[in-house]
Chains A and B, each alone.
Chain A
Amino acid sequence: MSKSSPPEPDEPPQPRRRPGPELGQIVPRVVGAHRSLLLVMRERHRLDGRSLGDLKALTGQQTSKISELLRGVGPYPRWDNTEPLVEAMRLPRTPLLRLWRQGALEAERKAAWIKGNKGAEDDGETDLPVSLQGMRRLHGAAYLAYAEIFLHPEAAAEVMERTFHVLWAREHVMLSSDSAPRFAWAVFREQVMERADERVALPEAALRTASLHEPGTSPGDEWLLMAHQVNLFTALRGLAARHADVLLLRHVLGLSTERTALVLGTHPGMVRVWQRQAESRLEADPGLRSLIEGMTR
């Protein structure tokens, strides 16, 4: 057996490698709440340093079964199999149960099947932890307005619900991140984009802008305005995420720089920088060149 030399004092400590095989990827067919549930559990699995063997010892399930469950292989998992893992990973039960129930509905499981899972009843009363309730009060309206740019209101409301449950499940990670609001925004944005149809969501949103809903516009003008808005929103699609977000929050939803900074979890100065960068990108966009030239003439 070879002896490992002690680490050099100024070398950064190597993260302890978990014994046993690495967990495989989530299978591509898993989407929606099921995927969110798996991502939460896998993140915890990655961070807590337990091997599948440890989980086997804690839950009594076969490692192959645990691995299948964490990768989303096969039929939608039973709560009977999921709950012991949730417990062994010391994850909060309520948000994971709700994600599981939502996933079961999306997987078109029968109500009788859901009921046939021990302990899978949701009292529906337990509310978010206080910190997240505060965040919902502060940023909920802005989040919802942003989601409604991309999604039908019913879908937007669902995305809000899902976002806060994912945040609840990942509360520890959120609280240890640099900025909780920034973390929350990233989670929220991911949930929106998973639902939105990226090819058409922004161009469709262009048709719901104020300029097209003003009374007394002649049909010819209306056509021009529509072309303008669609071009503009289509151009937003090509921007980096933070650039597009700043423009949407500032110009389309009309938030102040300070408010935008709070929602995105950054400094107002950063918002100004991103806004300037984004605007100059847009002005250089060939699709918008003719519009801008039309304005300055």
Chain B
Amino acid sequence: MSRAHQLFAGARMVAWERVPRDVVPYSEGWRSPRTPLDREERERERQAGRRLAALCEVVLDHHAETGLRSFVTDRLPDPLGGLLVGCALQLADDEDGARAWWRYAAAAEDELSPYCLHLQHQKYGEREAAAWWLARSEVDRWTMRGKLAQGSRHSFGNVTFPGHLLLLAAGVRTEGRPARAALVEALCEYIPAAVVDGHAEHLELDLPLPEPGFADRIRGLLATAAARGRTCPPSGEGSRGRLPRRPRRSPAEA
């Protein structure tokens, strides 16, 4: 027997034990292939993704009722509406669409969309693009005090804006996503479905246009939500952790 044979004596593989799968899928290590990025970089990218998701939730929550009221055409909302459409698409993983809609809003000097774009580029490690958009956004220097003094539409507590987003994202991680209002839920369901055709139809455009009649459908959703708000004050389900909506005063009461 040669030395090599001696060396390899007993080196045959034993088959893996064939046991039924664990109920929780075996996922550490192999499901997602190894990335060549170092841990710090990956963490930074993940964090940008989490901040972005938190920001989108906040924007939708704040502006869903007021932001999508004016339209340029029946398929094209105004810039604030564009920001909201972008947020809804981002939350549905349609990040190409979100990017295009935020650019549309940013071009019309919306204040928040450059910051959304900054976070999205950062999420994909595109440092130059991220820096470019950050330079066009004043948002990261906002604090509540300064902004309130100027009477801004957006107010985000007495910490810097990115810090606040981080807090929100951390809250989402530990406590789970807060329940969305019915209107936000409806928008998040409808908008991504409405732009599906837009993606496939006009490949030469980055902006996925929603289906015809988009404005009417959105107005319908808003009207339904408003009606629901009037008739039954939200209780328990669907509005956990939220103050009950103040009942609107009807003209008869006034």
Q: Measured between alpha carbons, how far is A197 from B32 in the docked complex, in Å?
A: 12
- Give the interface SS of chain A, mostly helix, strand, loop or mixed: helix
User: Quick one: which of A49-86 are within 8 Å of B by CB?
Assistant: 59-62, 65, 73-78, 80-81, 84
The 10 closest A-B pairs by CB, nearest first: A211-B10, A75-B95, A32-B33, A113-B93, A251-B8, A279-B4, A155-B30, A118-B200, A210-B12, A31-B33
Q: Any chain A CB within 8 A of the CB of B23?
A: no
- On whether the beta carbons of A112 and B199 are closer than 8 Å, the reply is no
Number of interface residues of A (CB under 8 A): 65
A238 at the binding interface (Cβ < 8 Å): no
Assess the B125–A232 pair: CB atoms within 8 A: no
**Complex Cα–Cα for A76 and B9 (A):** 48
Which of A29, A116, A232 lies in contact with B124, CB distance below 8 A?
A29
| CB atoms of B126 and A74 under 8 A apart | yes
Q: Is A186 an interface residue (CB 8 A)?
A: no
Q: Range of interface residues on chain B?
A: 35 or more
Q: Are A80 and B199 in contact, with the CB atoms below 8 A?
A: yes
Q: Is the CB of A110 within 8 A of B10?
A: no
Q: Is B24 an interface residue (CB 8 A)?
A: no
- Judged by a CB distance under 8 angstroms, whether A263 is at the interface is no
16 A-B contact pairs sorted by A residue (CB < 8 Å): A31-B35, A60-B203, A78-B96, A118-B197, A149-B13, A151-B30, A194-B33, A194-B34, A197-B34, A209-B12, A211-B10, A232-B11, A233-B11, A252-B12, A253-B12, A283-B7
Bound Cα distance from A253 to B11, whole angstroms: 9
One digit per residue, 1 when the CB lies within 8 angstroms of any chain A CB and 0 when it does not, for chain B 228-242 equals 000000000000000
| Interface pair B7/A116, CB less than 8 Å apart | no
Contacting chain B: which of A12-20, A173-181, A288-296?
Answer: A288-296
Which residue of the partner chain, among B30, B192, B199, contacts A118 with CB atoms under 8 Å?
B199
Given contacts A59-B203, A78-B96, A148-B16, contact A211 B35 (CB under 8 A): no
Chain A residues with Cβ below 8 Å from B4 are 251, 279, 282-283
Q: Which residues of A contact B8 (CB under 8 A)?
A: 232, 247, 251-252
Complex contact A154–B30 (CB within 8 A):
yes
Option from B124, B196, B204 in Cβ contact (under 8 Å) with A74: B124
Chain A neighbourhood of B15, CB < 8 A: 148
Check A210 against B7 for contact (C-beta < 8 Å): no
B92 touches A110 (CB 8 A): yes
Q: Which of A29, A119, A288 contacts B7 (CB 8 A)?
A: A288
The answer to whether A61 touches B10 (Cβ under 8 A) is: no
Contact B14 A210 (CB under 8 A): yes
Number of contacts between A and B (CB, 8 Å)?
156
| Chain B, 86-105, CB within 8 A of any chain A CB | 92-96, 99
Say yes or no: B12 contacts A154, CB within 8 Å: no
Flag if A75 contacts B99 (CB, 8 Å).
Answer: yes
Q: Does B138 contact A (CB under 8 A)?
A: no
Please tell me which one of the listed residues B13, B93, B121, B197 contacts residue A252 in the complex, with CB atoms under 8 A apart: B13
Does A208 lie at the interface of the complex (its beta carbon under 8 Å from any beta carbon of B)?
yes
Q: Does residue A23 face the partner (Cβ distance < 8 Å to B)?
A: no
9 further A-B pairs in the complex, CB-CB below 8 A; given A29-B35, A29-B37, A74-B96:
A80-B203, A113-B92, A208-B13, A210-B10, A247-B8, A252-B12, A282-B4, A295-B3, A296-B3
B37 contacts across to A, CB distance below 8 A: 28-29
- Indicate if B148 sits at the interface (CB-CB under 8 A): no
The answer for the CA separation of A25 and B34 in the assembled complex, in Å, is 19
Q: How far is the CA of A99 from the CA of B21 in the complex (A)?
A: 24
A194 to chain B, nearest CB (A): 6
User: Quick one: given A116-B193, A118-B200, are A211 and B9 in contact (CB under 8 Å)?
Assistant: yes
User: Which A residues are in CB contact (< 8 Å) with B197?
Assistant: 118
Q: Considering the complex, give the chain A residue whose CB is closest to the CB of B121.
A: A74
Q: Do B13 and A148 touch (CB < 8 A)?
A: yes
Q: B29 an interface residue at 8 Å Cβ cutoff?
A: yes
Contact indicator A29/B125 (Cβ below 8 Å): yes
Q: Is B250 an interface residue (CB 8 A)?
A: no
